[in-house]
Structure 1
Amino acid sequence: MLGKKKGKQRNEYVPDYVLYDLETTGISSLYDEVIEISAVKVRNGKIVDEFSELVNPGRHIPYAASKVNNISDKMVEKALTFEKVLPEFLAFAGDDVLAGHNIASFDMKFLYRDCEKYFGQTLTNDYIDTLAIAKQCFPEWKHRRLGDLAEHYGISTNGAHRALADCRMNQQVFELMAEELKGTVNKQTEMKICPRCGCTLKKRNGRFGEFWGCTGFPDCRYTENI
């Protein structure tokens, strides 16, 4: 929703939220533009609706960006501008808590900028950055990219770097990390050592159930069935 005061970042799990992702012409929220926005609406931990739109940025999409997100000038030439698409996203999100990976330092900046630019108001929704949640769950990891988390949990990364595919992947990751936060996954009564690198093993929850995973991940990817 739009208003005068920005929402706050929340480092907790909520069962109802809208998880979103942007694809852009580059990494600068000062100079670059949105070329795709997608979102999934979640109720009680389950996806109940989806939103996805390509966006015409009014400029050439650099090769470096297209190489990552596979979005070309041809794909967006008949798409609406972000000034037209953004209200549709805001209507979809309503006053829900927003969520996404690394949104505090990237995606939210684009939304704040363009809400101010087009409507003269800011985005008031609270938000959850799943990267911050990952830091709570996996403080020993050196990297906590969405792909690393998905691989850790056994979630498919097909279609990665297109916004809607990333949203679906991120939602699954967030729900599993919520279990980590609640302590229902990582409670364990014995210490197990990774035979490959010597780090401790920790109970994790993946697509096919619980397993032992090395706390040295992603440098060490040893796993063991429970």
Structure 2
Amino acid sequence: MSILVENGVLKVSGAQDKLRQKGQEKPDFLSDYTLIDIETTGLSPFRDRVTELGGIKVRNGEIVDEYSHLVAYSGSNKVPAFITKLNGITEEKIVNEGVAVDEAIHDFRNFIGDDVIIGYNVNFDLNFVYDLAKKYGEALLTNDYVDVLRLARAYYPKERHNRLIDCMQRAGIAQVEQHRGLDDSIDTKKVYDDFRENFTPELLENAKNKIKNLNLTEGELNPWELGFRNPVNNKKVVLNGHIHMDQDDAEKMINNMGGQAQDDLTAATNYLIMGDHDFFNRNNEALTKASELNKEGGQIKRLSESFFLSMLDDWARS
């Protein structure tokens, strides 16, 4: 039994089926690929919705096809005001111009096909598209991918921020970001092409070496190995219920990553990790105790095992 990160992919004995079976990140400069960018109502694929799917298909370095559609749902199509301010997408636009979600994800998944996927901070997009494809019975999104953000960090190692707009401005591509799927796809390709012209073999090798390879259960890890996105750093964590991870391994992982695995809940506990089925059991004793502690000033967050593993996987791929 073990919990590992191999080439940026989280591997968890006994619980691998709870993770998205996404492909592997492979930093490189390709001539043939599909580049994607999506818009959403928020940051979490567990509670937010895709509002727009955008992408371009590239062959021999040239755009040969485009995909761009707003996504409409049979239920709510409300868009938070701050999202509308950012990209102009409104509920009215989605209702009037959007494609039904089942049709949109079917077409978008076919548009991607078996291509290597490229995007900017693309793991964010992959999570949403993966979940949507799975929900509507499309082929799982297991394609390997290139994250242009990884290349940006290698090219601009001393910069505090390496957002898409930062790279666009530094390269003189544009001064503003549209925050629309197709427009941002095209701009991301321009940044990718700029890196292609200016990268050295050493920079590319550096980007590849930043992909994590760690044994999370072998021994305490150094902060520089874990990075600043470590989701359990300084967190006190309690595991409860039917957890598919080996509990001893999970506790070793938490402690090795700078957290503290607790045997019981206290007012200082940060996370209560519950088995997926236990998460919905309102009669759970640990849940009752967490609620009581929170009423007394605690700030215990209740997470399902699947959600917790998704957090870890996002960190492993960052």
User: 97, 106, 128: which one pairs with 2:116?
Assistant: 97
Matched, 1:9 2:28: no
CA distance in 1, matches of 2:188, 2:138: 31
Paired letter, 2:94: V
CA distance in 2, matches of 1:10, 1:100: 12
SS, match of residue 55 in structure 1: strand
* TM-score, structure 2 normalization: 0.54
Distance 1:120 1:44, change over 3 A: closer
Aligned 1:1-226 pairs, distance under 5 A = 5-57=21-73, 58-59=75-76, 60-78=78-96, 79-104=98-123, 106-119=124-137, 122-157=140-175, 160-182=178-200
> Would the aligned equivalents of 2:165 and 2:176 in 1 still touch at CA under 8 Å?
no
Cα deviation, residue 45, structure 1: 1.6
**Corresponding residue pairs, total:** 181
CA distance in 2, matches of 1:38, 1:29: 17
SS, match of residue 83 in structure 1: helix
Q: Which has the higher strand share?
A: 1
**Percent identity for Structure 1 against Structure 2:** 37
* TM-score, structure 1 normalization: 0.74
Cα deviation, residue 159, structure 1: 5.9
Structure 1: runs of 5+ lacking an equivalent? 184-226
> Would the aligned equivalents of 1:36 and 1:53 in 2 still touch at CA under 8 Å?
yes
Paired letter, 1:75: K
> Would the aligned equivalents of 2:165 and 2:177 in 1 still touch at CA under 8 Å?
no
SS, match of residue 19 in structure 1: strand
Paired letter, 1:89: F
SS, match of residue 160 in structure 1: coil
Deviation sequence 1:109-146 (CA, Å, 0-9, x none): 10121122111752121111111111121111111110
SS, match of residue 136 in structure 2: helix
Distance 1:5 1:180, change over 3 A: same
The structure whose Rg is larger is 2
RMSD (Å), alpha carbons? 2.1
CA distance in 1, matches of 2:176, 2:64: 21
SS, match of residue 122 in structure 2: coil
SS, match of residue 7 in structure 1: coil
> Would the aligned equivalents of 1:19 and 1:98 in 2 still touch at CA under 8 Å?
yes
SS, match of residue 50 in structure 1: strand
SS, match of residue 173 in structure 2: coil
SS, match of residue 146 in structure 2: strand
CA distance in 1, matches of 2:156, 2:182: 25
Structure 2: runs of 5+ lacking an equivalent? 1-19, 202-318
Deviation sequence 1:146-174 (CA, Å, 0-9, x none): 01101111112556111111111100100
> Would the aligned equivalents of 1:15 and 1:44 in 2 still touch at CA under 8 Å?
yes
Deviation sequence 1:27-68 (CA, Å, 0-9, x none): 111101111111111112221211111111432111111111
Look up the match of 1:200: none
